[in-house]
């Protein structure tokens, strides 16, 4: 008991107790082949007796310059982020891939536009960053670059030297629009996800819409309009006021309250589409009798609504998996691969019908 009590034992304490060098104890944990099995067992036993919980993660990180954590940069609060199944499915798939390699996710949510505050990013203990749908030019991305961390972006524009995975946003939107056009619709509403153009949501001109700060919003809009414009359809674009279900509902009522009411609504996410279906139900508007609705993502809830949602399917799990593989590859020192996109397809369910 000469040694100060209360202090957690360190590698040196174990080394002293066993009577070997510190390096040997380290090897006992990290390179079992570097010492005899007997000695290793003895080291481990003494460590257990001393209550040594194994090498300190921070010290180990400093020595190896690897932290084992992946910083995930979000531009919303956690509950917002996870109320959109798209993110949780994607992130989960990512986690499944990196988990076996011992990487954990360090969540950096960002209330403000532009993702988490720069200081947070600069101080985050991570080997690599994954940015999910941040606005163009988010300061968080600069911080990542300043630190020289590898970066994987999901649903964001391509940046030089950065790995990217996205989906065929424009094509998907075009498919949705075409489907409704083919059904004979001519009076359209586009329900755009919140992209901070209008502070509190509301109607957008097509010019404003084209300037959305979020890559996928821009692309999907372009896809819708590119299809609708040439066919001379009447179209109004409405931006949601936020990411919450409440703002989705508010926007849905606004769109359905217009006269003349659109007969077809192109919704940029399933969450928005489900809000529309729900609002229509409350207003006594028959879906798909009087109103056709198409979503985007094909997230799990799309199949559960009544009627089930016609939507654009993208393989969210695949997106997450690919992101995970990109992470592993970059961590392994691999080259930045060419940007990839998961394919989309139209899934016709019950929320669309003839005009």
286 interacts with a copy of itself by CB under 8 A: no
Q: How many residues bind a copy of itself (CB under 8 A)?
A: 53
Q: Between residues 29 and 82, which has the closer beta carbon with respect to DNA?
A: 29
Give the interface segment with a copy of itself, choosing from 57-65, 162-170, 214-222, 336-344 (CB under 8 A).
57-65
Chain positions 62 to 121 lying near a copy of itself, rule: CB under 8 A, are: 62, 65, 67-69, 77-80, 82-83, 85, 88-89, 91-93, 95-96, 99, 102, 104-109, 111, 119-120
Q: How far is the CB of 20 from DNA (least distance, A)?
A: 3
300 interacts with a copy of itself by CB under 8 A: yes
Determine phi and psi for 253, rounding to 5 degrees: -65, -40
Q: How far is the CB of 81 from a copy of itself (least distance, A)?
A: 8
Give dist(CA 255, CA 261) in Å, integer.
Answer: 8
Residue 277 near residue 305 (C-beta atoms within 8 A): yes
27 interacts with DNA by CB under 7 A: yes
Determine phi and psi for 73, rounding to 5 degrees: -95, 120
Residue 150 near residue 329 (C-beta atoms within 8 A): no
24 interacts with DNA by CB under 7 A: yes
CA atoms within 13 A on the CB side of 128: 26
- From DNA, a copy of itself, none, which one binds at residue 200 (CB under 5 to 8 Å depending on kind)? none
Q: Among 26, 67, 168, 314, indicate the residue that binds DNA (CB under 7 A).
A: 26
245 interacts with DNA by CB under 7 A: no
Residue 265 near residue 273 (C-beta atoms within 8 A): yes
CA distances from 81 to 35, 107, 315 (A): 48, 11, 18
306 interacts with a copy of itself by CB under 8 A: yes
Determine phi and psi for 292, rounding to 5 degrees: -105, 140
Distance of CA 81 to the CA centre of its chain: 8
- From DNA, a copy of itself, none, which one binds at residue 334 (CB under 5 to 8 Å depending on kind)? none
121 interacts with DNA by CB under 7 A: no
Q: How far is the CB of 146 from DNA (least distance, A)?
A: 13
Chain positions 28 to 87 lying near DNA, rule: CB under 7 A, are: 29-31, 33-36, 38-39, 54-56, 59-60, 62-65
| The pairing of beta strand 187-192 with beta strand 128-132 | unpaired
Which helix (H) or strand (E) segment holds residue 344: the answer is strand 344-347
* 238: β partners: 191, 203
The token pair that represents 247 in the structure block: 């703002």
Give the interface segment with DNA, choosing from 7-15, 202-210, 211-219, 264-272 (CB under 7 A).
7-15
Q: Which residue has the tokens 């509950």?
A: 79
Binding pattern to a copy of itself, positions 130-159, x when CB under 8 A?
Answer: -------------x--xxx-----------
Helix 270-283 × helix 245-256 angle, to 10°: 50
Q: Which residue has the tokens 């985007």?
A: 296
Q: Between residues 62 and 348, which has the closer beta carbon with respect to a copy of itself?
A: 62
20 interacts with DNA by CB under 7 A: yes
Give dist(CA 180, CA 333) in Å, integer.
Answer: 46
Residues engaged in binding a copy of itself (CB under 8 A): 8, 51, 53-54, 57-62, 65, 67-69, 77-80, 82-83, 85, 88-89, 91-93, 95-96, 99, 102, 104-109, 111, 119-120, 122-125, 143, 146-148, 245, 278, 281, 300, 304, 306
């Amino acid at each position: 008991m000469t040694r100060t009590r209360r202090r957690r034992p360190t590698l040196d304490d174990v080394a002293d107790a066993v009577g070997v060098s510190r390096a040997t104890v380290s090897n006992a944990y990290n390179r079992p082949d570097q010492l005899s099995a007997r000695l290793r067992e003895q080291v481990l036993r003494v460590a257990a007796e001393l209550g040594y919980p194994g090498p300190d993660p921070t010290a180990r990180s400093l020595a190896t310059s690897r932290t084992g954590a992946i910083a995930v940069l979000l531009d919303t609060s956690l509950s917002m982020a996870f109320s959109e199944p798209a993110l949780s499915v994607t992130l989960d798939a990512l986690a499944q891939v990196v988990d076996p390699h011992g990487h954990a996710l360090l969540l950096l949510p960002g209330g403000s536009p532009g993702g988490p505050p720069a200081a947070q990013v600069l101080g985050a203990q991570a080997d690599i960053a994954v940015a999910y749908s941040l606005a163009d030019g988010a300061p968080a991305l600069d911080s990542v670059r300043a630190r020289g961390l590898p970066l994987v972006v999901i649903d964001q524009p391509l940046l030089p030297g950065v790995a990217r995975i996205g989906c065929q946003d424009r094509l998907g939107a075009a498919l949705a629009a075409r489907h409704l056009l083919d059904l004979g619709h001519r009076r359209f509403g586009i329900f755009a996800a919140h992209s901070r153009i209008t502070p509190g949501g509301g109607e957008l001109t097509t010019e404003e819409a084209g300037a959305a700060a979020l890559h996928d919003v821009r692309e999907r809009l372009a896809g819708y309009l590119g299809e609708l414009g040439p066919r001379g359809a009447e179209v109004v674009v409405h931006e949601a006021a936020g990411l919450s279900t409440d703002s989705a509902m508010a926007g849905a009522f606004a769109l359905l309250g217009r006269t003349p009411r659109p007969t077809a609504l192109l919704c940029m996410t399933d969450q928005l589409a489900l809000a529309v279906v729900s609002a229509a139900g409350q207003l006594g508007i028959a879906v798909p009798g009087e109103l056709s609705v198409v979503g985007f993502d094909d997230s799990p809830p799309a199949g559960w609504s009544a009627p089930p949602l016609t939507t654009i399917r993208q393989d969210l799990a695949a997106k997450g998996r690919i992101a995970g593989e990109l992470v592993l590859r970059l961590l392994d020192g691999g080259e930045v691969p060419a940007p990839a996109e998961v394919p989309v397809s139209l899934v016709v369910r019950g929320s669309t019908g003839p005009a």
